[in-house]
A and B are shown apart, each in its own frame.
Chain A
Amino acid sequence: MNLTEPAVRVTGLTKKFGAFAAIDDVSFTVETNKIYGLLGRNGAGKTTLMQLLTGQQFATSGTLEVFGASPVENARVLQSLCFIKETQKYPDSFRPEHVLASAPWFFANWDADFAASLAQDFRLPLNRPIKKLSRGQLSAVGVIVGLASRAPLTFFDEPYLGLDAVARQIFYDRLLEDYAEHPRTIILSTHLIDEVSNLLEHVLVIDEGRILMDQDADELRGSASTVVGKKTDVDAFVAGRDIISRDGIGGLASVTVTGLSEAERAAARTAGLELSPVSLQQLIVQRTTSTTSETASTTDAWSARS
C-alpha cells in the first residue's frame, strides 16, 4: 500500500435512489493514517457514503477510489477495509464468540488478545445468543470487531447506540491507544460531536448529500467565536465579517463569526463585548441548520434520534 497516496479519493460521486440524490456530486479525499469525523444530521447521507466507499452500494455516477482502485467487488481493496455499522445483522443462532472466532479469517491484522480484553472491558457475554443481547452489548460486538481488526481503513457508523457513557469512554480510550500504536485510517460517523471532537484530526461535514465542510479539526476549532453584547456594539463589530449565526434578545445580540485574530479579540474586549469560544459541535450545528432553516433551536436536531 502506498502511504503517500490518499486512502480515499472521490470525485463527483452521486448516488440516487429513484429521484432522490442521497449523495449529490461529492468530491473529497481522505489521507492515510488520520482519524476522520464524518459528521452530519440523520439522513444527511453518512451511511450511504460509507456503503459506497465499502462497495456495498453502487454509485450512480462519479468516480470512487479506495487505496487506488474501485472498492466494488475488489478483493484486494475490501480486505483492507472494516465497516462497522449500527445495523449490522448476524445469523440467527450466532453468539459473540462466533463473530470473534470468524473475524480473523477476514481481517489479516486481527488481534485475538486485544479482542478478548475488549470483550472484558465491555463486559460482553461471549456465549449469549446475539438475539438476546442488549442494544449496548450488540454495539460492543461491532466496536470490538472494528478495533481488533486493525484494518488499514476502518469505518465506524454510529457504532455505539445503546452504549452507556462509561462504555463509550472505554471505546474512545481504546481507540486512541490502539491507533497510537497501530496508525490507520479511521472514519468515525457520529452525531455525538462533542464526545469525539478531540479525537478527530479532520472533519467532513455532510448535509443533504453534499460536503459542507472538509477541514482540519484543529483549524475549525479555533475558527469561530461568539460575540455577545449590546446589539449596536455587536452589529458595529461584526459588520463585514463572515457571520455564521445570529441570535438576540431585547437589546442584546449574540453573533457567531469566523476568523478573529488576537488583535481583533483584544479590540472586541476593549469595546466591552464578551467573547466566547464555539465548540466544534456548536459550529457544525450552526452551519448545518443555517442552510435549512432560520430557527435557533438547533441542538434538538442533533440530540433527537429518529
Chain B
Amino acid sequence: MTALLTGTATSVHPRSAPARIWNVVRLHLVDRRTYIGIPWLIAGMAFVVTVFMAQIIGFTTGGLGTADAIAGQRYSWAVLAPQGYLIAVGVQAISFGFPLALGFGVTRRDFYLGTALLFVLISAANALAFAVLTQLEQLTDGWFIDTYMFNAIWLGIDGFWVDLFSFFVMQLLVFFIGASIATIYMRWRMPGMLIFWSALALAIVGTVTIITFTSNWPAVGLWYGAQGIAGIFAWLLVPAAAAGFGGFLALRRATPKN
C-alpha cells in the first residue's frame, strides 16, 4: 500500500552531542530579555536610583567626594539588584525549560548539560561586565559625580581578578540554587519541597545552635576573616558544585508535570 504514497518518507540525521547541547543554550537564549535584557534593565534602574540617592545624601551631608561618603556607599546592595530576579530565572530554566525541552525531544542529560553551560557562560559574562564596571567606576572617580554603585560590599577591594572570580562564583551559585530548587520540585514534587526546606531550616538552626552553645562565634569570625574574599568565594564553589551535580542526578529521573 505504501507504494501508492507518492511522497518520500521522513527521516532524521542525528545531531552530534555538542550540537544538541549548544541548541539547549540557544533555546534558553531565544528570548534574550530573560538572561540579558531584564537583568541589565534592573541594574540600570538600580544605578539611576543610586545616583539620586547619592545626590540626596550628598546634599544633606555636605559633600559626596569625602572618604566617609565613599565608604558609606559600600553598604548599598544596589550592585546585586538583578540577583533576586536571576534566582527566579534559575527556577524557571528548569520549571518551564525542562517540559519545553522534553517536548522538543531533548534528553534530560543534554538539557541539563546545556542549561549548566548556559549558567557558566552567563555567569562569566556578568562577572566580566561587573568587574570591568567596578574598575571603570574607580578610574572615573564614581562616574565623575562621586557615585559608587559597583564598588560595594566586597567588590572593588581586592582588585579586578578577585572581583571577576567572586562575582562569577556568586552568579553561578544564584543560578544553581534556583535551578536545584526547581529540580527537586520536578523530581519529587511537594513532598520533596517539604523535606528540602525543613532539612535546610534544620541544618541552619542546628549549625547556629552548635556554634552558640560551644561559644565558637569568635573562632568562626576569625576563620572567616582569614579566608579573604577570594578564599570565601572559593569555598562557595563547593555548594555551587554540589547544587550543580545534585541537580544533574535528580533531573535524570525527573518527569515533567502534566
Chain A proximity of B29: nearest CB distance (Å): 9
> A151–B100 contact, CB under 8 A?
no
Using known A-B contacts A74-B107, A91-B92, determine if residue A58 contacts B33 with beta carbons closer than 8 Å.
no
> A73–B12 contact, CB under 8 A?
no
Interface membership of A41, Cβ < 8 A: no
> A76–B14 contact, CB under 8 A?
yes
Describe A's contact surface by its main secondary structure. Answer: loop
Interface membership of A117, Cβ < 8 A: no
> A91–B34 contact, CB under 8 A?
yes
Chain B proximity of A263: nearest CB distance (Å): 28
Q: How far is the CA of A103 from the CA of B100 in the complex (A)?
A: 10
> B102–A56 contact, CB under 8 A?
yes
Interface membership of A305, Cβ < 8 A: no
> A88–B105 contact, CB under 8 A?
no
Q: How far is the CA of A134 from the CA of B27 in the complex (A)?
A: 24
Q: How far is the CA of A76 from the CA of B102 in the complex (A)?
A: 14
> B100–A89 contact, CB under 8 A?
yes
> A182–B7 contact, CB under 8 A?
yes
Using known A-B contacts A89-B96, A102-B30, determine if residue A183 contacts B10 with beta carbons closer than 8 Å.
yes
**From B6, B23, B258, residue with most partner A Cβ within 10 Å:** B258
> B107–A78 contact, CB under 8 A?
yes
Residues from chain B with a CB closer than 8 A to the CB of A106 are 23, 27, 104-106
Residues from chain A with a CB closer than 8 A to the CB of B26 are 102, 105
> A33–B9 contact, CB under 8 A?
yes
Stretch at the interface among B43-51, B133-141, B234-242, B249-257: B249-257
Residues from chain A with a CB closer than 8 A to the CB of B5 are 33, 180, 183
Interface membership of B67, Cβ < 8 A: no
Q: How far is the CA of A14 from the CA of B106 in the complex (A)?
A: 24
Chain B residues touching A, range: 35 or more
Using known A-B contacts A106-B23, A182-B7, determine if residue A101 contacts B12 with beta carbons closer than 8 Å.
no
Within A60-114, which residues are at the interface with B (CB < 8 Å)? 73-76, 78-85, 87-95, 98, 101-103, 105-109
**From A32, A56, A103, A181, residue with most partner B Cβ within 10 Å:** A56
Interface membership of A168, Cβ < 8 A: no
Contact of A109 among B10, B33, B104, B255 (CB under 8 A): B10
Within B1-16, which residues are at the interface with A (CB < 8 Å)? 2, 5-15
Q: How far is the CA of A183 from the CA of B10 in the complex (A)?
A: 6
Using known A-B contacts A83-B103, A87-B258, A91-B97, determine if residue A151 contacts B14 with beta carbons closer than 8 Å.
no
Nearest neighbor of B100 in chain A, beta-carbon distance: A90
> A182–B107 contact, CB under 8 A?
no
Q: How far is the CA of A180 from the CA of B226 in the complex (A)?
A: 73
Interface membership of B20, Cβ < 8 A: yes
Nearest neighbor of A88 in chain B, beta-carbon distance: B103
> B14–A58 contact, CB under 8 A?
no
Residues from chain A with a CB closer than 8 A to the CB of B17 are 75
Interface membership of A150, Cβ < 8 A: yes
Residues from chain B with a CB closer than 8 A to the CB of A183 are 2, 5, 7-10
Interface string of A25-65 (1 = CB under 8 A from B): 00000001100000000000001000100111110000000
Q: How far is the CA of A106 from the CA of B104 in the complex (A)?
A: 6
> B106–A180 contact, CB under 8 A?
no
Interface membership of A184, Cβ < 8 A: yes
Interface membership of A159, Cβ < 8 A: no
Interface membership of A166, Cβ < 8 A: no
Interface string of B128-161 (1 = CB under 8 A from A): 0000000000000000000000000000000000
Residues from chain A with a CB closer than 8 A to the CB of B10 are 109, 150-152, 182-184
Q: How far is the CA of A180 from the CA of B2 in the complex (A)?
A: 11
Q: How far is the CA of A150 from the CA of B7 in the complex (A)?
A: 13
Residues from chain A with a CB closer than 8 A to the CB of B256 are 56, 89
Contact of B12 among A79, A88, A103 (CB under 8 A): A79
Q: How far is the CA of A151 from the CA of B26 in the complex (A)?
A: 20
Nearest neighbor of B27 in chain A, beta-carbon distance: A102
> B102–A79 contact, CB under 8 A?
no
Q: How far is the CA of A227 from the CA of B105 in the complex (A)?
A: 48
Chain A proximity of B38: nearest CB distance (Å): 8
Chain A proximity of B5: nearest CB distance (Å): 5
> B105–A78 contact, CB under 8 A?
yes
Interface membership of A3, Cβ < 8 A: yes
List 8 A-B pairs, minimum CB-CB distance, nearest first: A106-B104, A105-B23, A91-B96, A78-B105, A181-B7, A89-B99, A102-B30, A184-B10
Which of A's residues lie within 8 Å of B, judged by CB? Answer: 1, 3, 32-33, 47, 51, 54-58, 73-76, 78-85, 87-95, 98, 101-103, 105-109, 150-152, 179-184
6 A-B pairs besides A76-B14, A85-B258, A93-B31 with CB distance below 8 A are A33-B2, A33-B9, A54-B102, A85-B103, A105-B27, A106-B23
